[in-house]
Amino acid sequence: MGKEGIRYAAKVSFDKPAAEQEVLHNRWHPDVPSIGTIKNGEVVKIECVDWTGGQIGNNDSADDVRDVDLTKIHYLTGPFEIETAEPGDVLLVEIQDVQPMEDQPWGFTGIFTKENGGGFLDELYPKAAKAIWDFEGIFCSSRHIPGVRFAGLIHPGILGCAPSPEVLATWNKREGELIQACSHMDRIVAQPPNPQNVHAGSASSEIKEKVGKEGARTIPGRPEHGGNCDIKNLSRGSKVYLPVHVKGAKFSVGDLHFSQGDGEISFCGAIEMAGVITLKFTVMKGAVKELDMKSPIYIPGPVEPQFGPGRYIYFEGFSVDEHGKQHYMDATVAYRQTCMRAIEYLRRFGYDDYQIYLLLSCAPVQGHLAGLVDIPNACTTMGVPMDIFDFDISPHVKAEKKDLGSCAFASS
Amino acid sequence: MGKEGIRYAAKVSFDKPAAEQEVLHNRWHPDVPSIGTIKNGEVVKIECVDWTGGQIGNNDSADDVRDVDLTKIHYLTGPFEIETAEPGDVLLVEIQDVQPMEDQPWGFTGIFTKENGGGFLDELYPKAAKAIWDFEGIFCSSRHIPGVRFAGLIHPGILGCAPSPEVLATWNKREGELIQACSHMDRIVAQPPNPQNVHAGSASSEIKEKVGKEGARTIPGRPEHGGNCDIKNLSRGSKVYLPVHVKGAKFSVGDLHFSQGDGEISFCGAIEMAGVITLKFTVMKGAVKELDMKSPIYIPGPVEPQFGPGRYIYFEGFSVDEHGKQHYMDATVAYRQTCMRAIEYLRRFGYDDYQIYLLLSCAPVQGHLAGLVDIPNACTTMGVPMDIFDFDISPHVKAEKKDLGSCAFASS
Amino acid sequence: MGKEGIRYAAKVSFDKPAAEQEVLHNRWHPDVPSIGTIKNGEVVKIECVDWTGGQIGNNDSADDVRDVDLTKIHYLTGPFEIETAEPGDVLLVEIQDVQPMEDQPWGFTGIFTKENGGGFLDELYPKAAKAIWDFEGIFCSSRHIPGVRFAGLIHPGILGCAPSPEVLATWNKREGELIQACSHMDRIVAQPPNPQNVHAGSASSEIKEKVGKEGARTIPGRPEHGGNCDIKNLSRGSKVYLPVHVKGAKFSVGDLHFSQGDGEISFCGAIEMAGVITLKFTVMKGAVKELDMKSPIYIPGPVEPQFGPGRYIYFEGFSVDEHGKQHYMDATVAYRQTCMRAIEYLRRFGYDDYQIYLLLSCAPVQGHLAGLVDIPNACTTMGVPMDIFDFDISPHVKAEKKDLGSCAFASS
Amino acid sequence: MGKEGIRYAAKVSFDKPAAEQEVLHNRWHPDVPSIGTIKNGEVVKIECVDWTGGQIGNNDSADDVRDVDLTKIHYLTGPFEIETAEPGDVLLVEIQDVQPMEDQPWGFTGIFTKENGGGFLDELYPKAAKAIWDFEGIFCSSRHIPGVRFAGLIHPGILGCAPSPEVLATWNKREGELIQACSHMDRIVAQPPNPQNVHAGSASSEIKEKVGKEGARTIPGRPEHGGNCDIKNLSRGSKVYLPVHVKGAKFSVGDLHFSQGDGEISFCGAIEMAGVITLKFTVMKGAVKELDMKSPIYIPGPVEPQFGPGRYIYFEGFSVDEHGKQHYMDATVAYRQTCMRAIEYLRRFGYDDYQIYLLLSCAPVQGHLAGLVDIPNACTTMGVPMDIFDFDISPHVKAEKKDLGSCAFASS
């Protein structure tokens, strides 16, 4: 080994629509046909398109973000048959490397409109916006958010094994019940199976129809298999332990991120990119029971960007919302407040709020559940690394408003 | 300076009940009398009792935890008048050091009963339990949780400036509204002002009565001033920026922790101790507006225990509860699941669940808000440092059940 | 920028001898012709051959290491003309990334014979030996040193600007004086200019002759320009500040290392590889005087592999040599002893000494100058990261001799 | 345990000369009487005087440094009998904590005159100088070196077990040979046994005379037992493994440092202080052979101050001395040059060279043996943490000369 280069288990095309490529699919379903076999113990490279399948361009308008078709996203590469893997096994996936495509050294962070996708702060920031990021080796910077530059905490947003029919039924039932229970709310709370724009790889039309009707949408991560976890620290060198639910595991991966902050708050909040991931697969026989595993576990890699604890500025938020209403131990409300505190702080330097919202989504900010027991206030914190800025953002330095341009907005 | 030792701004007694010491108080109220004056720029030492005011003993029974009187807790040292501080200023508090009392090198972690205090997992673990921790320099270990030893991430659980009457009124109003709105729930959602066991330092009986009637309870942290934030990283070397609401700031501190995990999940979940904290105070004139500060901010110190990112094992949790019910983007539910995943994993080594619950509360576990936008599932993670165990807890090592004793329980 | 990929300022061939490629050269001399121009502020990729120009093969014999021709090494890519750079300027070189060639995911570490190249411990280990390393993303492992695997601390061994004629004359004079002064010693102490196998890129035969006669050999780093510093921490994300001595700077780079330990003790001690480096160039006008710079300075990047301080085992060495002779404050002697202490410790697990010698050369060990003032003993230390081994090397664990194979040796 | 506080195995007096205290001694000799017994597995506190035994005052003159009596230094606390320890065992010493005396929160860094003690750069900086450091919790700052403040990397400069008569004889022989061999040099190269001011604790006058005649001086660390290693990373939480040479080990400790840089270059270069150290002792039976141990080994603790790799500025030095002379692979020469590069860089901000020399001695600078094989140039580096300064010392920021006062000098 090592003499010729690592085998590509799948290559994608950037000249052909994602929907037409047999190595891609966009639903979780056990019947999506495998696109290849990987040996137990093998290391392979896998190419991935960006999660919108190329809907977003390297330009200065957020029209494409505003108009994104959310039924045409999350094209995953796979599924792969892992030799010897069976239900009850754990698939150990080691993320040996993640790289952008060499000839596409850029990515994007977007804010969806409140009507089409939304995000964590969409009540406050309902408009579409976008930042394009240029990659220079391990670093990225954006013409839409001047004054920052940082090393990527590069990782896959989505990876997981296919659900069994039983697991899939559980998902559809419990998410369907939520949709019903929340029918009075004015927002979409979950995405049920939807045949529109389903892509099931090389599946026959019959199978494709089945996948469209039953297949789980890729938006949420789910406890049984992981999926779209969007965990920023699943970066180079990480080991992820995934439960296997079907014979051969049927592993898929996609939605590569050059960087992301805890929470990925703007939804399209990571630095989304096309790229290639190098993975090693090892089957741990019977380990679901052995590890008493109900959800994936992971061990981060050793090469995360390091700033030193004293180089973060931390903001605190509590479960009292922006209208002054007290919520009971609600960490989601608390983190939203935490984000707002960071935005208020950073806007003093000349950024507009949308720029900061984009930045907090994609820069390696640390979001912590600080205190969850002091009734009625959950307390969460967000640490923003000071060294990603090329000026000093310390509290003891007087902030000067600079001309920091603008992110891309949609035409009106 | 430096020649004689640092001035003690307050000393406490361990021979006298906390309720009888004039340097202590247990409510947030602007009228609690100041116990001394600290210069702008001064460094002082301040002694603190443990947060239960000595109700918990170094023994092998959790009867004291079960029977704790929660109206007699959180005795804070202060308030201190900080020279030149006025409303609108920010008080920069630098935590130069925190140490346990030299002749009391021990602390405790407790699990309250569901009926008296409760905790984050009280539905699952309703009984009282306790672990005593012995301190040896920077390390701690417990006869009640064998097999672990770690360096403390020592910090104050509570610090803050007194509320103004207006701020106090806001608190009482919004928490009162929550209590009313939740009157149908079978749990206490907030603690309104309560004259029982109020302690207002050296206040006259008239003032004391007022403080009892209006004074905010110390349990929750609150956005306007911080208070009981229970942020584990506010450790040695940290700088905290606190909004000032009354003339002289009226700063108080207490509830010292030898260590704590993110979430402090068992409520009495840190390693609680009596000790001495060394603080430096600097007044930043008019900085509330300058920094657009609505809640405290902080910068951690440089000497946190370091494990290397690859020395944590991370568990994932999602907003699907233990009954299989799907919740909408609820990070609190997700973190509860995350904790349970960690418990399931660690129990394989021979710990009982209460031991692990105690350990996850007080060891420096990292709780992250991983993804908050992938509807309907919030995803949170908890990183447990593997090097606190004296055996290998890696997933690839076969777990052997050991005899790991028991934590302290209450007599039945 | 960012739309098409980063420009390659030079590509090398692996089908043609290094000596025949015009983009390479193997001497430091101001007259080596530039192979291209790079803008001030530009980011480019530069391909490099391995430092032996392909003399070493991916096989299980060290014959090639034993027979290496040391006049045919250190083929550097360049020199490049940096626009606007002039003597007295500082060239800031940012190392944005370093990668092995995608189709050559392997490298080598060698021990030269005492007679042909030697190394830091050649008195003790005079034989030729070799380890081949396979790369899997950020990690490497070797069939010749089983039981270890680590993330690369990838960096260029050599980078620098061309010397002026004056600087070159200084080098030749002072190294010539050393050679003369040490003529009685039984070892080669420095390499004077040598026309044999000189390669001056596309130079005319006249210039080539001059370069051969005067050109500084590439073996040593030198204070005036850096060159072959072999500093392991000049890794991804580092900024290096290099003095400029000639118009256009005439920057060259080569000798890429996948990893190296402090000292690079076996001489061919890094994991040597061919690869591509991504660099950003910025000219700092007049900065040699501004920074009072006599030798390069640098700031490491943020993505070094992190182990946590408590995951290193440190060995101590003093300036008492292996014959029991006391040397006066000699850090070189002390570090040799330090290396021997590490070898003695690690051989207990079943490694032979040559395997360990190779490993300490290329793994990211930390070599520190601990104490240099306590006459007569210099004290140095070497920290070996415990987590690169797949078994526990802690002192408290009983060492078991394993079958750990063998490195490659030369045929006899 | 844990209920009453940790036992003091020895207390010192600050009212009585060190030479009169029976718990102290200042020579390594097997016959110095033990001052107490420590159990295998026990944790104890041990008080220590500063290494000059109180000769240096908290004032603004370096007369005391100039006039220091170097026969009256290194008063160590001990020796202690460790139960069950015998020759061939390893004594594991865990450094649980180190603290300055609570009522003496200050320390000093000195530069000795070239004639009396000298230091690493005494050819260039022959005068006596001093800086007093004030401690505020974990931090220190100096009125003599304004603009810097840092967390201490607190540690003992000296710890070790007593030599056996054989080991002692070896030391005296080999150091005596060095003295003879270097008799032509104009500097003191080693300190032979010297009865002047010998202190052997409570020894009888007969024993004391023997100790004076044979006892090894404490200045150098030595390979067989460690001793005055001055390793900055032997800080809180470290584990040191020490060979035992005599029955009961006869362990001594002293020379506490609040902080030190690699090399401790000014000789009296750490921040010297009196204090108390908390140690845990464990005897590892027969481990000298088991670990094949010839010199101490250690594992650092987890709470070292952390800056992030990108927050250091590194200087490079080579074995070409300040007169332009080329030395052969001399790391000592190279590190001296490295120090000078750092001094040249930092003097641009307004410090005088003596201030910087003091600072590099005591601040946590990283001294690395970068390359030791590229003949004829050894290359060493020194990393200076940028965050210890309260102004930005980055190369890209224009240096402004500030008024940075002066260190203490001797009267002339």
Q: What are phi and psi of D160, to 5 degrees?
A: 175, 170
Angle CA A140–A143–A146, to nearest 5: 85
Which residue of chain B has the CA closest to D154? B303
- Report how far residue A52's alpha carbon sits from residue A49's, in angstroms, rounded to the nearest whole number: 8
Task: Please indicate whether, in this complex, the C-beta atoms of C138 and A6 are within 8 angstroms of each other.
Answer: no
B114 burial level (CB within 10 Å; 0-12, 13-18, 19+): middle
Closest C-alpha among D39, C303, B297 to residue A382: B297
Please report how the helices A353-362 and A331-347 are oriented relative to each other, as an axis angle in degrees rounded to 10. 120
* Pairing mode, strands C379-385 and C312-318: antiparallel
Cα Rg, chain C, nearest whole Å:
21
**Cβ of B1 and D134 within 8 Å?**
yes
- Neighbouring residues of D397: CB distance < 8 A, sequence distance ≥ 6: none
Contact indicator for C357, C277 with CB cutoff of 8 Å: no
Question: In the numeric block, which tokens belong to residue B63?
Answer: 């009867």
Distance CA B267, CA A371 (A): 9
Cis link prior to A156 (omega < 30° from 0)?
Answer: no
Other C-beta atoms closer than 10 Å to the C-beta of D283 total 20
User: What's the token pair of residue A237?
Assistant: 């060198």
What pTM was computed for the model? 0.97
Which one-letter DSSP state was computed for residue A357?
A: H
DSSP label of C294: S
Q: For residue D233, name the pLDDT band (cuts at 50, 70, 90).
A: very high
Residue D136 to residues A28, B102, B259, D103, D405, Cα–Cα distance (Å): 58, 18, 21, 12, 21
One-letter amino acid for residue A274 of the chain: A
DSSP letters of A213-225?
HHPBPSSSEETTT
CA R_g for chain D? 21
> How close is the nearest chain D Cα to the Cα of C302, in Å?
5
Let me know: does A34 contact A219? Beta carbons within 8 Å: no
Q: Which residues of chain A have pLDDT under 50?
A: 1
CB contact under 8 A, A305 and C307: no
Neighbour-count burial of A103, counting CB atoms closer than 10 A to its CB (0-12 exposed, 13-18 middle, 19+ buried): exposed
CATH 3.10.28.20 residue window(s) in chain C: 309-409
Q: DSSP string covering B276-325, please?
A: EEEEEEEEETTHHHHTT-SS-EEE--S------GGGEEEEEEESB-TTS-
**What CATH class is the domain C309-409?**
alpha beta
Cα–Cα dist D24/D17, whole Å: 10
- Mean pLDDT, residues D216-224 taken together: 96
Residue partners of C236: CB distance under 8 A and separation at least 6 = A137, A138, A151, C95, C96, C97, C98, C154, C155, C301, C303
Query: Quick check: B149 contacting C, CB < 8 Å?
Result: no
pLDDT given for residue D3 in this prediction:
64
> Chain A closest CA to B1's CA: distance in Å?
24
User: From CA C14, how far away is CA B38, in angstroms rounded?
Assistant: 72
Per-residue tokens: D15: 């009212």
Domain with CATH 3.10.28.20 in chain A: 309-393
What is the Cα–Cα distance from A42 to A1, expressed in whole angstroms? 10
Q: What is the DSSP string of A154-184?
A: -EEEEEEEPPPHHHHHHHHHHHHHHHHHTTT
N-term to C-term CA, chain A: 56
> What pLDDT sits at residue A3?
64
Predicted pLDDT at C55: 95
Name the residue with tokens 């030269």. C112
Length of chain B: 412
* Residue type (1 letter), D334: A
Q: Where in chain B is the domain with CATH 2.60.120.580?
A: 8-299
> What residues have CB less than 8 Å from B409, skipping those under 6 apart?
B61, B62, B127, B128, B129, B130, B354
Q: Tell which D residues from 321 to 340 touch C, by Cβ distance under 8 Å.
A: 324-332, 335, 337
Whether D237 contacts chain C with CB within 8 A: yes
Q: How far apart are CA B84 and CA B100, in angstroms?
A: 31
**In whole angstroms, what is the distance from residue B45 CA to residue D137 CA?**
9
D5 touches chain A (CB under 8 A): no
Residues A164 and A131: their CA atoms lie apart, in Å, by: 38
Judged by a CB distance cut-off of 8 A, whether residue D303 touches chain B is yes
pLDDT of residue B1: 44
- At residue B195, the pLDDT reads 95
Distances (CA, A) of D81 to A213, D85, D88, D166, D363: 79, 8, 15, 19, 34
Q: How far is B242 from chain A (nearest CA, A)?
A: 11
Inform me whether the C-beta atom of residue A294 falls under 8 Å from chain B C-beta atoms: yes
State the best of D373, D381, D392, D398 to mutate against chain C, taking most chain C CBs within 10 Å: D373
Tell me what pLDDT residue C3 has: 64
pLDDT per residue as tens digits for the range D137-185 = 999 999 999 999 999 999 999 999 999 999 999 999 999 999 999 998 8
Given a contact cutoff of 8 angstroms between Cβ atoms, the answer to whether B22 and B35 are in contact is yes
Structural contact between residues D244 and D85, judged by C-beta atoms closer than 8 angstroms: yes
pLDDT at D79: 98
Per-residue confidence (pLDDT) for residue A186, from 0 to 100 = 84
Nearest to D253, CA basis, from D156, D359, D333, D166: D156
Question: What pLDDT does residue C1 have?
Answer: 43
Residue D156: strand, helix, or coil: strand
Say how far apart CA B264 and CA B262 lie, in whole Å. Answer: 6
Task: Work out the end-to-end distance of chain C between its first and last CA atoms, rounded to an integer number of angstroms.
Answer: 56
Distance, CA of C163 to CA of C29 (rounded, Å): 6
DSSP C247: T
Across-strand partners of C275? C48, C100
Q: Evaluate whether C128 touches C65 at the Cβ level (below 8 Å).
A: yes
**Residue C300: cis peptide before it, omega within 30 degrees of 0:** no
**Residue D91 backbone dihedrals phi, psi, to 5 degrees:** -100, 115
Q: Is the pLDDT of residue C213 over 90?
A: yes
Q: What is the mean pLDDT of chain D?
A: 96
* C233 contacts chain D (CB < 8 A): yes
Q: CB count, 10 Å around CB of A411?
A: 8
Residue with tokens 């990021």: A133
Rg of chain A in Å (alpha carbons): 21
Counting one residue from chain A and one from chain D, the pairs whose CB atoms sit within 8 A come to 21
CA-based nearest distance B152→chain C, Å: 15
Query: What length is written for chain A?
Result: 412
Contact D138, D161 (CB under 8 A): no
Chain D closest CA to C322's CA: distance in Å?
A: 11
CATH code for the structural domain at B309-402? 3.10.28.20
Of residues B161, B312, B322, the one with CA closest to residue B242: B161
Distances (CA, A) of D375 to C232, C270, D330: 18, 16, 10
Residue ranges in B329-403 assigned as alpha helix (H): 331-347, 353-362
Chain D residues within 8 A of B307 when measuring between CB atoms: 302
List C-alpha distances in Å: D168 to A60, A224, D213, D222, D226: 77, 66, 12, 11, 13
Q: Do C138 and A3 touch (CB under 8 A)?
A: no
* Cis, bond preceding C193 (omega within 30 deg of 0): no
- Interface touch C392/B392, C-beta < 8 Å: yes
Taking contacts as CB-CB distances below 8 angstroms, the residues of chain C near D369 are 262-263, 331, 335, 367-369, 380
Report the alpha-carbon distance of residue C336 to residue C339 in Å, rounded.
5
**CA neighbor of A332 nearest in space, from D36, D340, B375:** B375
Structure tokens at B70: 């929660």
- What is the pLDDT at residue C412? 78
Q: Which of A90, A373, A384 to mutate to test the interface with B (most CBs of B within 10 A)?
A: A373
What distance in Å separates residue A137's CA from the closest CA in chain C? 5
Walking along chain B (412 residues) 10 residues at a time, the average pLDDT comes out as: 81 95 98 98 97 94 96 93 98 98 96 94 96 97 98 97 98 97 90 95 97 96 95 97 98 98 94 98 98 97 95 98 97 97 97 98 98 95 97 94 96 86
Architecture of domain C8-299: Sandwich (2.60)
Half-sphere exposure at residue D367, Cβ-oriented, CA atoms within 13 angstroms? 35
Distance, in Å, from the CA atom of B189 to the CA atom of B177, rounded to the nearest integer, reads: 11
CATH of domain A309-393: 3.10.28.20
Residues 6+ positions from B205 with CB-CB distance below 8 Å:
none
Confidence of residue C187 (pLDDT cuts 50, 70, 90): confident
Tell whether C297 lies on the interface with D, counting CB pairs under 8 A.
yes
**Which pLDDT does position D220 carry in this prediction?**
95
